[in-house]
Structure 1
Amino acid sequence: MEVVDLGTLDGRGVSEATDVNTRGIIVGWSETVVEGAQFVRAVQWEDDEPTALGSLREDGLGDTDATGINARGTVVGSAQDSDWNWNAVQWVDDEPERLEARSGESRSRDSHATDVNARGTVVGHFDDGDSEVRAFQWTERDGMVSLGTLRDDETGRSVATAVDDDGTIVGYSVGNDGRTHAFQWTKREGMTDLGTLSGDGSSAAFDVQTGAVVGWYAEDGEFANRTTTRWDGETLDSIGTFRVDNTGYSQAYGVAGDVVVGASQVDAGGSHAFVWVDDRLIDLGTLSNDDTGQSSAAAANVQGRVVGWSQVDGGNNHAVRWTW
């Protein structure tokens, strides 16, 4: 297995990789210094070399982050504007474009894009102006459209985390019982509750590919012992953790083919990035010389590349690429 420290934009600070496409292009963010001030910048790594993506602000200041990239190389994420508000954006020729409602007016003071599929459909969440967060879908034709929530009266919070190439969207939403539940949204059926392993408790979904949805599930009052869950049609699978007694937490963030990636608690305390394949939980370790510290995997592609972050010697988190 190859492990590569992707570093940061200026050789110091913190960075994180959030997604990788089938061409091996990686996106995420890195701390950097602009005009003497420290900001977070959206980054694209190609051949493991980082390039900062553009800012919405004319002065080049403000934070940006990249959270998704599709096979064509379209990058999505969020960027602060001149009023320091967050805006869902996509980068075109390295310059950010706001993703807004069809009217051309922003849906809210704050919006964040999380993923984009091969068709250019973008998902994320926005503040509806009444202190409620709503999952959205954005397309070139329809603009930003709310997906509602799992509650019958469509109140409460919902967040869209990923979109498959067929348009299936997943995320999490408050349900009628007041708990957070993983959801799946399709144009035909709207938002549906993916449920939990026991019928009670809470859950959340973070990625979807070809019908397989991954995330976590927790019994009531047991969030510290949440476990990685894969919804696959009518089947729900779960795993434990790296700990000897199988306690603690694990949660999945990405799926590619038969491979699920995420993070699991270890006996030393903290968590390590994992690959879950063929019902085996494989520890990807960390960038520290003695394999101590923490790490987490955020996404994978079918070519065997896994990206995320890891602590390095000295304690900072760096974006990392594993190839296994």
Structure 2
Amino acid sequence: MAHAAAGDIYNLGTFGGLSSSGRDINDAGQVVGYAQDAVGRSRAFLWSISRGMTDLGTANGYTLAGATAINASGSVVGAERDSETGFNHAFAWTPNEPNGTTGTFIDLAHGEYSTAADINAAGQVVGSSTYYVPEELCTPDYPNYPNCAPAYYETRAILWANGDGVDLTSTLHGDAAFILTTANAINNAGQVAGQSSYYGVVHAFLYGGGNPLHELGTVGTTISAINDAGQVIGDSWTSGGGGYAFRYTGTSGSGGVTVELGSLGGSGSHADDINDAG
């Protein structure tokens, strides 16, 4: 459902299927998300009051897709899925004219599979990509052989600009065990917020915008959004398994203040988005 300024509620509809879900909205009132078609396939959509629901299509013959974010000019990002392998591929869709309904669909394929989470006004896209790391040579006494490692998949935070993806971990200089695993949000200053991992311990991070990396300091944190003031919101999980929504105010490369947002008397809370007013 989408809310108009007067408080009306609009049913965004589907492509003939049973369900749909809106994921993001821009200042022009355009909504993106995914909707089922008549045979139950999820399709990425762009919706507006004047033009209704538009199917953004796919590439490479894929039939499944979903949109996750839209910027002020109507550029959209998300992921399409290869139904044979089940792997996602990040995509960007750029309108032929600002906030138009026809445009160019670009496969941002990076690694074995990938997804795009957010896009800023400059068209910079963030998300994640998963790579296949082949096994190292093993001997019969594995796992005691020190130079032996089985094959595995590793996920990295990615920043795309003009269609080219950069592994954000590769821009850091330090301990190889420290990995930026997921980039969830980017603001118009180019600051990126997401999750990192150090020997399996998860932390939130804030990076970019001309500043060095800053860990937000809370273990077990997931990031949902960042505004143009650099305020970050998300959820943090306690050792007891409970979770609470938080807002972090600061700048990458310096300390900041984390505020627990509380709940409505329940056992936890969740934060999805934040505007520029905080």
TM class by shorter-chain length? Answer: 0.7 to 0.9
The C-alpha deviation readout for 1:207-226, integer Å capped at 9, x for no partner, is 1111111101222232xx21
Larger Rg: 2
**Aligned match of 1:46:** 48
Which of 228, 234, 242 is equivalent to 1:215? 234
The one-letter code matched in structure 1 to 2:91 is V
User: Matches of residues 43-192 of structure 1 in structure 2 within 5 Å?
Assistant: 43-47=45-49, 49-58=52-61, 61-81=62-82, 84=85, 85-92=87-94, 93-99=102-108, 106-130=109-133, 131-140=153-162, 143-148=164-169, 152-154=175-177, 158-176=181-199, 178-186=200-208, 188-192=210-214
Task: State which of 8, 23, 35 in structure 1 corresponds to 2:13.
Answer: 8
Partner in structure 2 of residue 21 of structure 1: 26
Indicate the structure whose relative CO is greater, using CA pairs within 8 Å and at least 6 residues apart: 1
Q: What is the deviation of 1:156?
A: 5.4
SS in 2 for 1:133: strand
Per the alignment, do residues 6 and 133 of structure 1 end up closer, same or farther by CA in structure 2, a change over 3 Å counting? farther
Taking structure 1 as the reference length, the TM-score comes to: 0.67
Name structure 1 gaps, 5 residues minimum. Answer: 100-105, 260-324
Q: What TM-score does the superposition give when structure 2 sets the normalisation length?
A: 0.77
- Counterpart of 2:20, as a letter, is S
Give the deviation of 1:258 after TM superposition.
2.9
- TM-superposed CA distance for 1:27, in Å, is 0.6
Determine the structure 1 residue equivalent to 2:257: 235
Q: Per the alignment, do residues 167 and 133 of structure 1 end up closer, same or farther by CA in structure 2, a change over 3 Å counting?
A: same
Q: Percent identity?
A: 27
In 1, distance between residues paired with 2:60 and 2:110?
A: 19
Give the Å deviation of 1:166: 0.5
User: Is 1:255 matched up with 2:260?
Assistant: no
Structure 2 runs not aligned, ≥5 long:
1-5, 95-101, 134-152, 251-255
CA deviation map 1:104-137 (0-9, x unaligned): xx43121111111001100000012230111100
The separation in 2 between residues aligned to 1:62 and 1:155, in whole angstroms, is 36
How much is the aligned-residue C-alpha RMSD, in angstroms? 2.5
CA-CA distance at 1:7 after TM superposition: 3.7
8 Å CA contact retained: 2:18, 2:40: no
Q: Which one of 220, 223, 231 corresponds to residue 202 of structure 1?
A: 220
**Contact 1:56 1:80 survives alignment (8 Å):** no
